[in-house]
Amino acid sequence: MKKQDYIKWDEYFMGIALLSTERSKDPSTSVGACIVSEDNKILSVGYNGMPIGCSDDDYPWDREGNGLDTKYFYVCHAELNAILNYTGTHMKGAKIYTTLFPCNECTKAIIQKGITEIIYMCDKYADTESVIAAKRMLDSSGVKYRQYHPIGKDIVISL
Ligand SMILES: O=c1ccn([C@H]2C[C@H](O)[C@@H](COP(=O)(O)O)O2)c(=O)[nH]1
Ligand SMILES: [Zn+2]
């Protein structure tokens, strides 16, 4: 008889998005994303981080202060990184698993690449204009989104 306690696709891909957050250097919000084809093949992954050549040690991670001294002008978002990291030809009909609901800028890129479903974990910025705008664009373009609800299974990875 086959093993019964295997994880389903949602747990597998959200698990990879969650593992990707472990690469983020953001001290307040680590985000991970995993893009998956229609037939459940992983196309790309990403996390929020500074652009190539912009040292994690030289650029700010602050949330507040003078705009140029905060992270917001510099950090590349997880979903955008996952899209940019993809080396294949197309991602039409793909799904994106992300640990945080995408902002309006990531949402534009998601729509333009032909991704048709967003599975997100946390929506802590639901009340912000960015996420309200994101949902408006998703609704207009017919991109589905649904929240992932953890099943309460702990998986320990010993490294
Ligand atoms: O779509 C998104 C929105 C935000 N992020 C990243 C950008 C920042 O590194 C953090 C948010 O930091 P706060 O301190 O919570 O403001 O999340 C992202 O990757 N994708
Ligand atoms: Zn974003």
pLDDT digits (tens, 9 = 90+) for 114-140: 999 999 999 999 999 999 999 999 999
Mean pLDDT across the stretch 62-66?
Answer: 97
- Kindly provide the ipTM of the predicted complex, given to two decimals: 0.99
Q: Ligand 1: which of 100, 120, 121, 124 to mutate, most ligand atoms within 8 Å of CB?
A: 100
What value, to the nearest 5°, has the Cα angle with vertex 110 and ends 105 and 116?
145
Confidence at residue 134, expressed as pLDDT on a 0 to 100 scale: 99
Distance between CA atoms of residues 133 and 114, nearest Å? 18
121 near 93, Cβ under 8 Å? no
Residue 79, token pair as written in the block: 């979903």
Q: What pairs with residue 34 in β-bridges?
A: 45, 97
Helix (H) or strand (E) holding 140: helix 129-141
Instruction: Give percent of the chain above pLDDT 90.
Output: 99
Confidence at residue 8, expressed as pLDDT on a 0 to 100 scale: 97
Confidence at residue 125, expressed as pLDDT on a 0 to 100 scale: 98
- The set of protein residues with a Cβ atom below 6 angstroms from ligand 1 is 26, 28-29, 31, 48, 63, 71, 75, 77-79, 100, 102-103, 106
Q: Residue 41 half-sphere exposure, CB side, CA atoms within 13 Å?
A: 9
pLDDT in tens, 29-47: 999 999 999 999 999 999 9
- Find, among 114, 148, 150, 118, the residue nearest to 134 by Cα: 118
What number of residues does the chain have?
159
Confidence at residue 25, expressed as pLDDT on a 0 to 100 scale: 98
Distance between CA atoms of residues 68 and 59, nearest Å? 10
Confidence at residue 104, expressed as pLDDT on a 0 to 100 scale: 99
Instruction: Give percent of the chain above pLDDT 70.
Output: 100
Confidence at residue 100, expressed as pLDDT on a 0 to 100 scale: 99
Q: What pairs with residue 76 in β-bridges?
A: 49
Helix orientation angle between 104-112 and 78-85, rounded to the nearest 10 degrees:
30
Distance between CA atoms of residues 28 and 37, nearest Å? 30
Active-site hit among 22, 38, 64, 79: 79
Mean pLDDT across the stretch 61-79?
Answer: 98
**Would the pTM count as exceeding 0.80?**
yes
Average predicted confidence (pLDDT) for the chain: 98
Residue nearest to atom 12 of ligand 1 (CA): 29
Distance between CA atoms of residues 57 and 17, nearest Å? 24
